[in-house]
């Protein structure tokens, strides 16, 4: 059986938790740290952007500031996650190819989520895995999950919603509640489940941790031995923490080009959304910068960022950009879950048909 460390880091800030995700995943892949199952919690509450999202588009930043809500960015894709202090996060980090990451991303996701759902059911709720990446109770989402690869390591993580603070989460989102009808707000609330709504005063955090540990050990074939952060991991955390607290990381401040050739396109399909922005050089003939964002997961986690770099300097013609994207996916064997390579390529090509502004 594969041997894992069982690590409980307790209540940390969003920046500390995000930094540890990077550090422990990279170190596990490099053989510098043991494969790890980690329990994590957040204090204060945190609004966590998906890796490919933009804070100003997704969050009501003023509300977050006024209510002491941390804003940060996950290394995993997908949409915004609101992590209450009451919630529990769990994650598995190990080298690629080590159980449970030895059967491809989609199969690993299903295997881990099915185990987590079974563990929650042992507490007395009817939990089950709902593709593509949720765990639900009676048709309502109680846990979202996601993962990423970093160098030779992989992380897969999930959350368990415990106390119902959905209205606070909705107000933190960039959604004008005053424009929503009451039945639409109620519909959003009805899509979420919280353990305390089912278990009441009988809920016990340590019992929740215990069933997850037992379930993962039995279902995934791993041995879990309690342990803490090593001296080397603590030193790397101190070194990396300022970056994860910076605007460069949280708000993706990378100096978007100011030139006036700007094109924008959004692809919405049932499995997610993809937003593409393309800026051209001053001649209007070559791609200067591409920004691809939205609600999706990809593997490896740098797939989209590297694709953006691949498009730089290419001729600004739909057919040319489509071929660049298709060749890139074929060469890297990367995956954007819910989107085919052809759909991504078409979205990039279609962007050039939608100018936001042209040269003065």
Predicted confidence (pLDDT) per residue in 135-147, tens digit: 999 888 999 888 8
Which helix H or strand E contains 151, and what residues bound it?
A: none
Asked if residue 300 has a cis previous peptide bond (ω within 30° of 0), the answer is yes
**Which domains does the chain possess?**
2-250 (3.30.930.10), 262-357 (3.30.390.50)
What is the pLDDT at residue 116?
97
Contact 340, 271 (CB under 8 A): no
The mean pLDDT of the chain is 88
**What Å distances lie between residue 44 and 39, 47, 107, CA to CA?**
16, 10, 34
What is the pLDDT at residue 313?
84
Number of other residues whose CB lies within 10 A of the CB of residue 123: 19
**pTM, to two decimals:** 0.74
What mean pLDDT is predicted for residues 309-314? 87
Position 176 confidence tier, pLDDT thresholds 50, 70, 90: low
Backbone phi, psi, residue 262, to 5°: -130, 130
Task: Indicate the burial class of 318 (C-beta count within 10 angstroms; 0-12, 13-18, 19 or more).
Answer: middle
What is the pLDDT at residue 182?
56
Q: Among 28-42, 248-262, 327-341, which stretch is predicted with the lowest mean pLDDT?
A: 248-262
pLDDT, tens digit, 9 for 90 and up, residues 276-306? 988 886 668 888 788 888 877 888 877 887 8
């Amino acid at each position: 059986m594969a041997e894992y460390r069982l690590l409980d880091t307790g209540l940390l800030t969003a920046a500390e938790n995000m930094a540890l995700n990077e550090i422990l995943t990279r170190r596990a892949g490099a053989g510098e740290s043991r494969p790890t199952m980690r329990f994590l919690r957040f204090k204060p509450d945190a609004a966590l952007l998906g890796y490919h999202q933009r804070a100003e588009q997704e969050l009501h930043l003023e509300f977050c500031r006024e209510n002491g809500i941390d804003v940060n960015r996950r290394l995993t894709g997908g949409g915004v996650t609101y992590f209450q202090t009451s919630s529990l996060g769990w994650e598995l980090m190990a080298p690629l190819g080590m159980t449970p990451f030895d059967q491809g991303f989609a199969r690993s996701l299903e295997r881990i989520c099915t185990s987590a759902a079974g563990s929650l059911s042992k507490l007395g709720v009817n939990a089950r895995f709902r593709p593509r990446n949720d765990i639900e109770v009676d048709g309502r989402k109680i846990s979202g999950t996601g993962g990423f690869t970093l160098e030779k390591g992989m992380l897969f993580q999930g959350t368990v919603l415990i106390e119902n603070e959905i209205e606070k989460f909705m107000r933190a989102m960039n959604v004008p509640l005053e424009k929503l009808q009451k039945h639409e707000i109620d519909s959003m609330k009805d899509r979420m489940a919280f353990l305390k709504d089912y278990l009441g005063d009988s809920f016990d955090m340590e019992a929740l941790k215990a069933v997850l540990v037992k379930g993962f050990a039995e279902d995934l074939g791993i041995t879990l031995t309690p342990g803490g952060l090593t001296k080397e991991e603590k030193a790397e955390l101190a070194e990396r923490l300022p970056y994860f607290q910076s605007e460069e990381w949280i708000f993706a401040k990378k100096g978007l080009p100011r030139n006036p050739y700007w094109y924008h396109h959004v692809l919405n399909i049932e499995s997610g959304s993809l937003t593409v922005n393309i800026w051209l050089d001053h001649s209007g003939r070559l791609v200067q910068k591409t920004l691809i964002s939205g609600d999706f997961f990809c593997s490896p986690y740098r797939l989209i960022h590297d694709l953006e770099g691949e498009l730089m300097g290419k001729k600004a013609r739909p057919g040319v950009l489509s071929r660049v994207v298709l060749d890139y996916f074929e060469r890297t064997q990367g995956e954007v879950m819910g989107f085919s390579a052809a759909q991504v390529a078409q979205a990039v090509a279609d962007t050039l048909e939608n100018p936001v502004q042209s040269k003065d």
